[in-house]
Amino acid sequence: MVLIIPVLILWMQHIRSQVDGQQINQIPKFSLLQEGENFTTYCNSSSTLYSFQWYKQRPGGSPVFLMLLTKPGEVKKPNRLTARFGDTGKDSSLHITAAQSADAGTYFCAE
Ligand SMILES: *[C@@H]1O[C@H](CO)[C@@H](O)[C@H](O)[C@H]1NC(C)=O
Ligand SMILES: *[C@@H]1O[C@H](CO)[C@@H](O)[C@H](O)[C@H]1NC(C)=O
């Protein structure tokens, strides 16, 4: 049996960012992972940001804070997650190593 793990990535401040005229991009937004697969996504901004935060919301749960990145180039690796603040200060990547069913959920990035 193949376990399918749904993962959705959202930018928390999308609406405010559109008002500011700030461009944000996330690829991919929605993904179905197989157990054991790696997954990487980015939250990109057109302007330099001072920090990146990542949150995770399990299906039916509340958003839970995962980590804060405050320096370009900074990397944090809690458990099987790796988050990196890009050297330019304009993007952050989130990497899931060997996806498990517990990884299912919605991941938010925020400034
Ligand atoms: C986001 O930033 C990363 C790292 O700079 C880059 O590789 C990727 O192509 C960018 N994606 C988008 C949608 O701009
Ligand atoms: C999955 O990610 C881990 C750690 O980031 C890496 O060591 C491993 O080679 C990756 N596996 C594949 C199939 O890309």
Q: Identify the residue whose C-alpha is closest to ligand 1 atom 5.
A: 91
The closest alpha carbon to 42, from 86, 100, 99, 105, belongs to 86
- Which residues neighbour 7 within 8 Å (Cβ) at sequence distance 6 or greater? 30, 31, 32, 33, 39, 96, 99, 103, 104, 105, 106, 107
14-110: which CATH architecture? Sandwich (2.60)
Task: For residue range 20-59, list pLDDT tens digits in order.
Answer: 666 666 666 788 999 999 999 888 888 888 899 999 998 8
What number is the average pLDDT over the span 82-92?
A: 95
What number is the average pLDDT over the span 93-109?
A: 92
User: For the chain, which residues make up each domain, given as ranges?
Assistant: 14-110
pTM: 0.84
Distance between CA atoms of 45 and 64, rounded to whole angstroms? 23
- Ligand 1 mean position, distance from CA 108 (Å): 17
- Among 9, 25, 95, the mutation site with the greatest number of ligand 1 atoms within 8 A of its Cβ is 25
Percentage of residues of the chain with pLDDT beyond 90: 46
